[in-house]
Amino acid sequence: MTIAALQSIDGLDLKTGLTNCMDDEQLYKDVISMFVIQLDQDIPMVRQFYNTQDWIGLGKACHGIKGAAASVGAHIVQDASAELEKAGKENNGDVINSQFEQYIVLLESFKAQISAAI
């Protein structure tokens, strides 16, 4: 994988990700690879929380995704996760129901684009 391959991913701020990794490209590649692996686990977990209407659990899971997204510079994922985290904390099923499917599409898209680049 080259850093250049990641530049085409809309919503991925390589400058932020590299800065968070002390401008170490290999470290960034490792971290973004771990992000994809973690999404493989997080997406089914978030779906399960949604299906059981465990809004608190969903909010906590989104909190973790938000932090991981911030570390790699995935600001779109970070922002969407923050919205669902807040809705989960507030037990706001209306907001969650209106945003959830779009959120999953976003996570799956990011995972696929990063996987293709690495």
Instruction: Please check whether residue 49 lies inside any domain of the structure.
Output: yes
Instruction: Please check whether residue 118 lies inside any domain of the structure.
Output: no
Domain interval for residue 39? 13-112
Name residue 88's amino acid.
G
Instruction: Please check whether residue 29 lies inside any domain of the structure.
Output: yes
Instruction: Please check whether residue 74 lies inside any domain of the structure.
Output: yes
Average pLDDT over residues 13-36: 95
Number of domains in the chain: 1
| Position 60 confidence tier, pLDDT thresholds 50, 70, 90 | very high
DSSP-derived secondary structure for 2-67:
-HHHHTTSTTB-HHHHHHHTTT-HHHHHHHHHHHHHHHHHHHHHHHHHHHTT-HHHHHHHHHHHHH
Query: Is 17 in contact with 70 (CB distance < 8 Å)?
Result: no
Instruction: Please check whether residue 81 lies inside any domain of the structure.
Output: yes
What distance in Å separates the CA atoms of residue 86 and residue 62, rounded to the nearest whole number? 9
CATH number of the domain that residue 62 is part of: 1.20.120.160
Neighbours of 110 (CB within 10 A): 22
pTM value is 0.92
Instruction: Please check whether residue 97 lies inside any domain of the structure.
Output: yes
Tens digit of pLDDT for each residue in 70-102?
A: 999 999 999 999 999 999 999 999 999 999 999
Instruction: Please check whether residue 7 lies inside any domain of the structure.
Output: no
Query: Is 50 in contact with 96 (CB distance < 8 Å)?
Result: yes
SS3 call for 69: helix
| Position 7 confidence tier, pLDDT thresholds 50, 70, 90 | confident
Residues in the chain: 118
Instruction: Please check whether residue 99 lies inside any domain of the structure.
Output: yes
